[in-house]
């Protein structure tokens, strides 16, 4: 039996699909995919994130082929002296739990990146300036975890009046009930389109 959460999310998805069939001035955000996952329940998140990571990779390839900019939005892990290259090396070379995700979603030389100190990609970061520079009106949010950094970034994106896509097969949380609750909130309260990645009209 479907829960009310799923019903709300599916209703929001159908409503969004009735709108424009083509995205205008979109950007693809990969949120915390370069992450050591060395925290409680990190292993559980990695297990649930492996399939979404592969779908994110496929979506990234489609986005780049369509000329859609790709932006990695990543935690600075509380280190104000860190840089993105150092974080990537740490996730690849130090035997961390999140290595399989990081290897699958390595950034390309022409990708953008923003380091964030807290959950939202907008909080105390240059993300808004970068999006304005790129002329972005639509955001496609992917990454981990659904109930934390994806949710908080989606909330701020909504407050900044962006059109929002959160493909439901390109995100994960440490538990399925947590994922479902967060996704329903994103769809119902933030008016995000949660269709699957393959159905996003790039």
Number of other residues whose CB lies within 10 A of the CB of residue 66: 12
Cα four-point dihedral sign 157, 121, 65, 192 = negative
Where does residue 62 rank: exposed (0-12), middle (13-18), buried (19+ CB within 10 A)? middle
Domain count, the chain: 1
Measure the N-to-C terminal CA separation of the chain; round to a whole number of Å: 33
In a domain, 59, yes or no: yes
**Domain CATH number, residue 80:** 3.40.50.850
Please name the residue that has the structure tokens 């990571």: 53
In a domain, 156, yes or no: yes
Number of other residues whose CB lies within 10 A of the CB of residue 124: 10
In a domain, 18, yes or no: no
Residues 6+ apart with CB under 8 A from 96: 36, 37, 38, 90
In a domain, 64, yes or no: yes
> What are 119-157's pLDDT values in tens digits?
999 999 999 999 999 999 999 999 999 999 999 999 999
Judge whether residue 15 has pLDDT over 70: no
Cβ pair 156, 150 in contact under 8 A: no
Give the model's pLDDT for residue 84. Answer: 87
In a domain, 202, yes or no: no
List the domain range (segments joined by +) for residue 96.
4-11+25-197
In a domain, 191, yes or no: yes
In a domain, 16, yes or no: no
In a domain, 17, yes or no: no
pTM summary value: 0.87
Give the model's pLDDT for residue 14. Answer: 55
> What are 46-78's pLDDT values in tens digits?
999 999 999 999 999 999 999 999 999 998 876
């Amino acid at each position: 039996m479907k829960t009310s959460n799923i019903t709300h999310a599916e209703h929001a998805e159908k409503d969004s699909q009735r709108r424009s069939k083509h995205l205008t001035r979109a950007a693809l955000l990969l949120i915390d995919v370069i992450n050591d996952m060395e925290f409680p329940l990190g292993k559980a998140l990695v297990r649930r994130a492996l399939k979404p990571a592969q779908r994110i990779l496929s979506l990234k390839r489609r986005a780049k082929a369509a000329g859609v900019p790709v932006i990695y939005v990543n935690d600075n892990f509380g280190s104000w002296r860190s840089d993105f290259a150092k974080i990537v090396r740490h996730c690849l070379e130090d035997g961390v739990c999140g290595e399989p995700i990081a290897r699958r979603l390595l950034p390309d030389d022409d990708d953008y990146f923003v380091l964030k100190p807290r959950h939202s990609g907008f909080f105390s970061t240059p993300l808004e300036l970068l999006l304005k520079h790129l002329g972005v009106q639509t955001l496609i949010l992917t990454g981990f975890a659904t109930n934390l950094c994806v949710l908080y970034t989606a909330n701020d994106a909504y407050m900044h009046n962006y059109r929002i896509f959160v493909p439901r097969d390109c995100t994960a949380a440490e538990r399925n009930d947590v994922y479902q609750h967060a996704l329903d909130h994103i769809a119902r309260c933030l008016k995000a389109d949660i269709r699957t990645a393959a159905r996003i009209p790039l």
